[in-house]
Amino acid sequence: MRLEPGSHVAPHLELVSLLRMGGVGSIWTARHLGLGKDVAVKFMSASLATDPTAIARFHREGALMARIKSPHVAEVHEHGVAEDGLPYIVMELLRGEELSDRLARAGRFPLEETVTLVSELCAGLAAAHALGIIHRDITPEHVFLADVGGRTCAKLLDFGVARGDVDPDGTTLTATGTVVGSLVYMSPEQFFNPKQVDGRSDLWSVAVMAYQALTGAPPFEQKGLEALLSAIRIGHFPLPSERCPDVAPALDAWF
């Protein structure tokens, strides 16, 4: 099937326009005729759609996200396969920007906005963790700041490397002991003891983003993999108040 405006992924899904094209796939705006509203449809790239492991992981992402009911996790309506075999995930259509774009533009967040961001992300993670789902790749690129009724609402995206208790067919989601995630935001356990990773690793990643939002830079910026891993392992980083004099020293203890 050719992805283009007007084409139907399924009888109830009509593509409207391309939102984003990337190396692993594309995201389109579509009209969901059953729901009577516009949605976002995420497609796997045709090159990856021949890899059984990639296909299984894509479907697991859709299945896991569909289970999580939280205003701070992007809602998945359904997932399936187009007539030509291309997998897709149908999600709520979000308007706004990724946290990474906001940080690049603003540099730093006021304390009140940072507290709200952390609170909302923790609420989304609490809903996921209650189901035994660990995200494992919390980064600014995987947090969307959505415009909801005139206010900003943080939503978690991309559960592509998430780990759950089991997937729908009863198998484990990823190989035990596999290191996954984005280096700067990963917890020590994700590097050095991946079999023991649990929800606390996601909270570590949120704390790294909170530090970055307050100070304008992530806590760990060492050059070279060995130096970076060593700093993360021992927790060696400048205190926020040392980096930014306008950050209250009382906040240092939280980190």
Average pLDDT over residues 202-211: 97
Q: State the residue range of the domain holding 44.
A: 8-92
Look up the pTM and report it: 0.88
DSSP per position, 151-216: EEEEEE---TT-B-S--TTSS-SS-TT---S-GGG--HHHHH-GGG--HHHHHHHHHHHHHHHHHS
pLDDT tens per residue, range 61-71? 999 999 999 99
Whether residue 221 sits in one domain with residue 114: yes
Residue 44 lies in a domain: yes
- How confident is residue 39, by pLDDT bands cut at 50, 70 and 90? very high
Domain C-terminal end among 29, 62, 92 = 92
Query: pLDDT tens digit string along 106-132?
Result: 999 999 999 999 999 999 999 999 999
Catalytic residues: 137
Could you tell me the CATH number of the domain that includes residue 219? 1.10.510.10
Q: Is position 3 within any domain?
A: no
pLDDT band at 165 (very low <50, low <70, confident <90, very high): low
Residue 115 domain-assigned (yes or no): yes
Say if residue 115 is in the same domain as residue 219: yes
